[in-house]
Structure 1
Amino acid sequence: MKMKAVNRHVIAGAKIIVFLLLFFAAFSYGMFQGGFVSWFLFFSILPFALYALFILFYPVQKIQVMREIAKTDVSEGETVRMKMTVRFPFRSPLFFLSLSDEMPEKLAKRGRTPYKTLLFAFFKKELAVQYAIPNITRGEYVFPAVRVYVADWFGFVEKSRRIPCEASFLVYPAVVDMVYRPFENYFDQGMAAVRDQVKRDSTMAVQLRDYQPGDRFSWIHWKATARRNELMTKEFEQRQTNDLMIVLDCSPGGTFDLAVKFTASLIRAVIKKGGQAGLYACEKERHYFPVQGGVFHKQAMFYFLAKVEDESAIPWHKQIENDPVIFLQNINKIFVTTALREEDIEAIAKNVSPRGAKLLVCVKGNDEQISPGDTKLMNLAKSRGIFVKILREENFANAFGGGMDR
């Protein structure tokens, strides 16, 4: 890196020396030769020489760039509009300035090219430029800086500077309007959808706990609240279909973004239906959102889903084996993955409570076919009491519309 910087300085210095030699050669030619042609040649070069001298001493380091983003919370597929304002230290005969934006690594990996433009700044104090990033994908994007470049007409004198002007925005996963129908596990009839409204059995309070955001006003135990001088909530006996825990596989996979989209759509559908949802995922570290309801809880899970990547270094079945307490709760569970694996099925069967239905959803691309190996693993899962559903993006809306075992 240092070697490249040294080479750049050497080349820049060589260009300046060559330009000065040409200028003095023209001057010497006019002095010794005399006449109209020789002096015409000299005075033709003089404006370019003066502009190169101006660029040589122009304070590029005093140029300021400010960045504005129209929206910092964006949904996947929308267009992000960026505005950059360039302020110059003083009005000057600076003809043009090249401005290039540093692209976040995630956008570069998706084949997006950095934004570059040429600004004509002749005697202007301030310039503004706007550009759009269409069809943005899910994730967190940080734009760290821009690079400005000025030069004389022939490129003998060049100056550039990296100007930090960090700005970021978050792209939430797109959601599909999904009709969620809670399911129960009938040992003699297989899995069936329950089409009634999700309800909490409030006829029998089994214990008290601290109030949590999302609890209903009618669940508050007023006598206990008065005794302890803090809000206490009744904990009711729950039906098997009341709550849903979603376990997301963060192993590297080509359809991981689709799995995140399905997970976000499912969370939204459960809470919209009146139920409660939880989320477990192990990316670079473990993330656990207990089963709750309410807008703030939903927002926290969506914030995580906007940033999560398929970068888990721990195999999914090891995660399930290492955190069995989470999966022993008496609630329905949906495991979301991008590939069916025998070791994952065995881990779910051994470490997840038999009470409460277990559904394993494998998200595939629209062009992917169900292989014979997938069919074999689906039969294995069914024999272990796990129901498997293979979904493509085009089927998300009707994921719970029919039989659960496909």
Structure 2
Amino acid sequence: MSIGRLLVRTGKFVFLLVVIAVLYAYAMFQGGFVSWFLFYSVVIILLCNTLFMLYPLRWIEVERQFDRKLLSHNEKMEVTLLLKKKVAFPLIYVSVMDDVPASLEGMGKAPGTIFFFTGAKQLSYNYQIRGSKRGEYWFSPITLKTGDLFGFFQKEYQIDIEDSLTVLPRLWPLKRWNALWNDNQEITPVSAKLVEDAFSVAGVRDYVPGDKLTSIDWKVTARAGKLVTKEFESQSGKGYTVILENAGEGKQDDVFEERVEFAASIIDDCYKQTIPAGFGISTNADLLIEEGSKKQHIQKIYQELAKVERADMYVDEASFFKQTVRNRSIVYIASSMTAQRMSALQSFLENRNEVVIALLQKETVADVDIEESLYRLKKQGADVMYIQSDTSAFDVTS
């Protein structure tokens, strides 16, 4: 506590003592009923005021309650602040205020309130937030305040309650993602291209909203009387391995966010088709999450995508492409290409990897050397797709 604040508090306390002394002197000299009534009334009020101030705020337990820990983009959630008094005591007022991370939008209701003259042992307050930006957010602390009748004194107490909340990336529909030009200039579904040789039907499960109609087993559905979906098992351990380019120099945050959202949309497409998916970033030599297709596995990928950040470094310094990778189906998501990066992708093709290059660009590639290199990668078996984003979907062209 600063010396100035200490002097102010001391001055207020001395002022109250002077008021009592003056009233007592007045009652002694006046000696009437009114003077003594006034003296004892003020003394009783000041004693009650003292009791209010002596009540320790640490006797109030505070909880922050969520109904879930994961939020989709722009999803709303209610937060409950619960106050429990160890000893029921009628405080004049107690205010509670939560510290909400800046990027979580409120819904018009403040993250705190004031309770007046309440003797209840348990109090609660609700407010809503919305996940408008992906990321992992931490709440802390919660602040309690109280004071006396006259505003002379005020107490403040902070409770460190760390709670985390993860806002997942936005998911967009993928226009024409399931169509690529093959060597005969015919349209071939991407998923079929990878799944045809890699997967076989392992069984069936109950239909989940979002499953494609092509994966429904109509014969079993007719026998069982309910919708069931085919489940596939891998014959050669292959699925999608999504590699996100997170290296880059300068201010490229908007472009990077588009790459993250496109990666999340691909993972969502894999989940709906029960295709195993793994995830990694270019600046990490090891995959963050290996391939899998269960719901819990996909949620882990979403959480990694929610937390991933752009590394301010030269693209060719990324460590993932400096290693030997074999027998994978890689989807590489980037916004630009360099000669060194295309050389690394060519090595991946030579090591029996299937490579899909997804370029999110505002404009088409203008560098002639880059175009020629991409054409050579196509000839060696790579699929090159150009991604354009609009207000409702990612448009995929080859």
TM-score, structure 2 normalization = 0.72
What is the CA–CA distance in structure 2 between the aligned matches of 1:361 and 1:114, rounded to whole Å? Answer: 42
What is the CA–CA distance in structure 2 between the aligned matches of 1:39 and 1:271, rounded to whole Å? Answer: 81
Alignment check: 8 A CA contact 1:86 1:127 kept: yes
Deviation at 1:151, TM superposition (A): 0.2
Which residue identity lines up with residue 342 of structure 2 in the other structure? A
Q: Which whole-Å deviations, capped at 9, do the CAs of 1:125-157 have from their partners, x for residues lacking one?
A: 111111111344322222233111110122212
Structure 2 gaps, min length 5 = 204-232, 378-383
Deviation at 1:87, TM superposition (A): 1.4
Structure 1 match to 2:315? 316
Aligned-partner SS, 2:100: coil
Deviation at 1:81, TM superposition (A): 0.7
Against the structure 1 CA distance between its residues 94 and 35, is the aligned structure 2 distance closer, same or farther, given a 3 Å change threshold? same
Against the structure 1 CA distance between its residues 234 and 165, is the aligned structure 2 distance closer, same or farther, given a 3 Å change threshold? closer
Q: Which whole-Å deviations, capped at 9, do the CAs of 1:204-224 have from their partners, x for residues lacking one?
A: xxxxxxxxxx99759xxxxxx
Structure 1 match to 2:359? 361
Against the structure 1 CA distance between its residues 178 and 117, is the aligned structure 2 distance closer, same or farther, given a 3 Å change threshold? same
Structure 2 match to 1:81? 78
Q: 1:194 aligns with which of 189, 194, 200?
A: 189
Deviation at 1:237, TM superposition (A): 9.7
Alignment check: 8 A CA contact 2:95 2:115 kept: yes
Deviation at 1:64, TM superposition (A): 0.9
Alignment check: 8 A CA contact 1:100 1:116 kept: yes
Structure 2 match to 1:24? 21
After superposing the two structures, state which structure 1 stretch, 19-28 or 265-274, moved more: 19-28
Deviation at 1:393, TM superposition (A): 4.6
Aligned-partner SS, 1:301: helix
Alignment check: 8 A CA contact 1:215 1:293 kept: no
Q: How does 1:114-125 map to 2 (within 5 A)?
A: 115-125=111-121
Deviation at 1:100, TM superposition (A): 0.8
Q: Which whole-Å deviations, capped at 9, do the CAs of 1:43-79 have from their partners, x for residues lacking one?
A: 6644542333113321222111122112223212111
Which residue identity lines up with residue 259 of structure 1 in the other structure? R
Q: 2:371 aligns with which of 373, 382, 398?
A: 382
Aligned-partner SS, 2:75: coil
Structure 2 match to 1:63? 60
Aligned-partner SS, 1:28: helix
Q: Which whole-Å deviations, capped at 9, do the CAs of 1:187-207 have from their partners, x for residues lacking one?
A: x96x9653673454559xxxx
Deviation at 1:118, TM superposition (A): 0.3
Which residue identity lines up with residue 324 of structure 2 in the other structure? V
Against the structure 1 CA distance between its residues 304 and 161, is the aligned structure 2 distance closer, same or farther, given a 3 Å change threshold? same
Which residue identity lines up with residue 174 of structure 1 in the other structure? R
Structure 2 match to 1:350? 343
Aligned-partner SS, 1:309: coil
Structure 2 match to 1:335? 333
Structure 1 match to 2:127? 131
TM-score, structure 1 normalization = 0.71
What is the CA–CA distance in structure 2 between the aligned matches of 1:153 and 1:287, rounded to whole Å? Answer: 61
Deviation at 1:265, TM superposition (A): 0.9
Aligned-partner SS, 2:64: strand
Deviation at 1:20, TM superposition (A): 3.1
Aligned length: 352
Deviation at 1:280, TM superposition (A): 1.7
Query: What CA RMSD, in Å, does the superposition of the two structures yield over aligned residues?
Result: 4.0
Against the structure 1 CA distance between its residues 352 and 11, is the aligned structure 2 distance closer, same or farther, given a 3 Å change threshold? farther
Q: 2:138 aligns with which of 142, 161, 166?
A: 142
Structure 2 match to 1:281? 281
Percent identity reads 21
Which residue identity lines up with residue 323 of structure 1 in the other structure? K
Aligned-partner SS, 1:165: coil
Which residue identity lines up with residue 391 of structure 1 in the other structure? Q
What is the CA–CA distance in structure 1 between the aligned matches of 2:58 and 2:152, rounded to whole Å? Answer: 19
Alignment check: 8 A CA contact 1:250 1:309 kept: no
Deviation at 1:353, TM superposition (A): 2.5
Which residue identity lines up with residue 318 of structure 2 in the other structure? Q
After superposing the two structures, state which structure 1 stretch, 272-281 or 66-75, moved more: 272-281
Aligned-partner SS, 1:181: coil
Against the structure 1 CA distance between its residues 143 and 13, is the aligned structure 2 distance closer, same or farther, given a 3 Å change threshold? farther
Aligned-partner SS, 1:245: strand
What is the CA–CA distance in structure 1 between the aligned matches of 2:136 and 2:127, rounded to whole Å? Answer: 19
Structure 1 match to 2:301? 301
Aligned-partner SS, 2:391: helix
Q: Which whole-Å deviations, capped at 9, do the CAs of 1:259-309 have from their partners, x for residues lacking one?
A: 322211111113423544332215799653344544443232112112223
Does 1:97 find its partner at 2:55? no
Structure 1 match to 2:155? 159
What is the CA–CA distance in structure 2 between the aligned matches of 1:125 and 1:23, rounded to whole Å? Answer: 33
Deviation at 1:319, TM superposition (A): 0.7
Which residue identity lines up with residue 21 of structure 2 in the other structure? F
Which residue identity lines up with residue 177 of structure 1 in the other structure? P
Against the structure 1 CA distance between its residues 377 and 20, is the aligned structure 2 distance closer, same or farther, given a 3 Å change threshold? farther
Alignment check: 8 A CA contact 1:199 1:274 kept: no
Alignment check: 8 A CA contact 1:262 1:396 kept: no
What is the CA–CA distance in structure 1 between the aligned matches of 2:121 and 2:37, rounded to whole Å? Answer: 34
Aligned-partner SS, 2:140: strand
Alignment check: 8 A CA contact 1:139 1:172 kept: yes
Deviation at 1:95, TM superposition (A): 2.0
Deviation at 1:318, TM superposition (A): 1.0
What is the CA–CA distance in structure 1 between the aligned matches of 2:83 and 2:191, rounded to whole Å? Answer: 59
Against the structure 1 CA distance between its residues 380 and 357, is the aligned structure 2 distance closer, same or farther, given a 3 Å change threshold? farther
Structure 2 match to 1:253? 252
Aligned-partner SS, 1:394: coil
Against the structure 1 CA distance between its residues 378 and 183, is the aligned structure 2 distance closer, same or farther, given a 3 Å change threshold? farther
Which residue identity lines up with residue 16 of structure 1 in the other structure? F
